[in-house]
Chains A and B, each alone.
Chain A
C-alpha cells in the first residue's frame, strides 16, 4: 500500500489525511499558544488545572503513536510516566535539581525501557499485547514498591522550587505537550508515520511491502514512551512527592486512551482536544463531587465508547446528520 493510497483510504474514512483535519490542527495549535499565557493570571489553582491538562495531553500523544497510529492497543503507557517520575525523584535525592536534565533523562530512560521490553512484548498481538502491557505497569509498581533505594511503597519526596518560580513546571509541561504534538505532526507526515499506519491497516501486507514491522512498532512505542516519560519527569517535582500508587496508577493508564478516542484516534489534534475536555471535566467533577468523581469518570468512558467511538472530529465531519450517526453505532452489534 503506497503512502498515497493510505492517505486516500484515510480521507474516505473521514479522517482528512494522516494528520487528521487541518483546521482542527490549526485550532489546537492556536489554543496551545494561548495556554502559554495561563501563568500570567497568577492563579495557582488554574495553573495546576491546566498543567494537568497538558500532562494528560502529552501522555495521550504518547499513546496515540502506538495505539492510534500503529494500532497496538497498549494498556501500559503509564509505566513510562512512572519511570520518568522516578528518574526525576532519583536525581532529586542525589542533589541534582535541574528540570532539563530530569526531562532528558526521564525521556531517554523510558525509551530505553520501551525498546528492551518492546522487543519481546510487541511480538504479541491484540488481547495478549494489551494484557501484557497492563501487566508491565502493575509489575513495575510492585517492583518499585519493594525497592528501598526508591523509597519503597512509602514513596519519595522530590525537591520543589520556591513559590516565586513555581510556574517553571507549568512552562516545562507546556513544552513537553507542545513538542509531543508537533512531533506527532512531523512523524505522521514522514515515512515513519505511513509505516505505522500501514502496520495498523494490515501488518502482513506491510511486511510484504518491505516494512520491517518489529522495528517500526518498537520505534512508535519508544517515541510514545519518551512523551510519557518527559511528562512524568515534570510531574514529580511539580507534585513534590511520588509513590508507586500515584505514578503507576491504572487510571492514569486508561484516561489518556479515553481522551484520544474522544478527540479522534490517529489524528494530531485529537489527543489534545480529548485531554482538554476530559481532564477539564475531571477537574470540575473532583471539585464538586469529592467522593464520586471517579464514578462519573467511569460513566464517561462507557458513554464515549458507546456513543462516540470514532471521536468528536469524526462527528463534526459527518455527512447525513443524526441518522448516519445512529446507524454507525449499530455497526458492531451481534
Chain B
C-alpha cells in the first residue's frame, strides 16, 4: 500500500514538470497549428542556461526561471518572425520538417558548445527530503511542483485577463475575425511561438534540477509533450495541467512493471517511449478530444 502511495506522489511530482513541458507545446499547436519538433531543443537550451548561470554566477536555479524564459522567448520570437512565419499556413509537412531541421541544428550546435558529456545542477538542498507517513518527498521536486503550478496559474491569468492574452485566444478561435478586429496575426504568432519556446526554457530549468543535462536530453520530452496535449485536451492551460498530472501518474505506475517471461526480463523503466505510444493510441481511440477538451478541438 505504501508503495502505491509513493508511486502516486512520484507521479504527481513528475507530472508538474510535464504540465509545463506540454504548456508551450500546446499553445503553439492549438493556436498556430504547428507541431513544434524543436520543443525538446528549447528545453535543452533552458537547462544549459540554468547550468551556466548556476556554475558560473552561482544563481539559484529557481531564480534563473525568468532568465531562461526571457532568453528562450527572444530566440523563439526571432525564429518565428524570420523562419517559421514563411510556412505557417503551409501543409503540415513543411512546418514539421522545418522545426525538425531547426532541432537538428540547435542540438548539434549544443554538442559543439557543451560536448555530449552529461552534467548536472546540484544545489545545497538537492539531496534533502522529508517523509510524510510512509512517503518520501525530495524537497527539490516539491519546490519544482509548486513552481510548475505557479507558472501554469500565471499563464492562465495572463491569457484570460491581459489584452495580448485575449488577442491570442481570439486568434485561436477564428483568425479571420481576429484580424478584422485589429489583431496583428503575424505579431501574435511570433509572441505565441516565443511563449512556447520560453515555457520550454522554463521547463528545462525545472528539469535540470532533477534530471541529467546533455544535448539530447530534450528528445524524450517531445513525444511526452504530444501525449500530454492529446490526453488533457489541446490548446488550453487546464488541459496541459490535467494531462501532465495524469500522464505523470500513468508513467509512474507503468515504469514499475517488472516481469520475467522465460529468460526475457521486461522492465517498464526501459520502455518509456512504448508506454507513451500505447497511451497515445488508447486516448486517440477512446476520447480523441482529451479529458477537458471541447468536442470541436
Chain A residues within 8 Å of B, Cβ to Cβ: 67, 73, 75, 120-121, 124, 126-128, 130-132, 134-136, 138-139, 141-143, 145-149, 250-251, 254, 257-258, 261, 291-292, 294-295, 297-302, 304-306, 309, 329-334
Closest chain-B Cβ to A317's Cβ sits at a distance in Å of 20
Q: Are A132 and B98 in contact, with the CB atoms below 8 A? A: no
Which chain A residues lie closer than 8 Å to B108 at the CB level?
292, 294-295, 298
**Which parts of B6-53 form the interface with A (CB within 8 Å)?**
29, 33, 35
Closest chain-B Cβ to A300's Cβ sits at a distance in Å of 8
User: How many Å lie between the Cα of A52 and that of B271 in the bound state?
Assistant: 31
Which chain B residues lie closer than 8 Å to A135 at the CB level?
223, 226, 273, 276-277, 280
Report if A261-B101 is in contact (Cβ < 8 Å); known contacts: A143-B274, A302-B83.
Answer: no
Residue ID in chain B nearest A129 by CB atoms = B92
| Chain B contact residues: helix, strand, loop or mixed | helix
Report if A305-B274 is in contact (Cβ < 8 Å); known contacts: A130-B92, A132-B284, A146-B267.
Answer: no
Report if A301-B87 is in contact (Cβ < 8 Å); known contacts: A131-B223, A334-B186.
Answer: no
Task: Classify chain B: how many residues form its interface, as a range.
Answer: 35 or more
Report if A291-B112 is in contact (Cβ < 8 Å); known contacts: A139-B273, A333-B89.
Answer: yes
**Which parts of B191-245 form the interface with A (CB within 8 Å)?**
219, 223, 226, 230
User: How many Å lie between the Cα of A154 and that of B266 in the bound state?
Assistant: 16
Instruction: Contacts A143-B274, A302-B98 known; list 9 others, CB within 8 Å.
Output: A145-B270, A147-B264, A251-B104, A291-B112, A298-B102, A306-B83, A306-B87, A329-B86, A334-B85
Q: Are A299 and B101 in contact, with the CB atoms below 8 A? A: yes
User: B96 at the A/B interface (Cβ < 8 Å)?
Assistant: yes
Which chain A residues lie closer than 8 Å to B100 at the CB level?
254, 301
User: B263 at the A/B interface (Cβ < 8 Å)?
Assistant: yes
User: How many Å lie between the Cα of A127 and that of B276 in the bound state?
Assistant: 16
Q: Are A136 and B101 in contact, with the CB atoms below 8 A? A: no
Which chain B residues lie closer than 8 Å to A258 at the CB level?
97, 101
Which chain B residues lie closer than 8 Å to A67 at the CB level?
93
Among B29, B101, B185, B278, the residue within 8 A (CB) of A334 is B185
Report if A257-B97 is in contact (Cβ < 8 Å); known contacts: A146-B266, A148-B264.
Answer: yes
Closest chain-A Cβ to B60's Cβ sits at a distance in Å of 33
Query: Which 4 A/B pairs are nearest by Cβ-Cβ distance?
Result: A298-B104, A301-B101, A298-B105, A295-B108
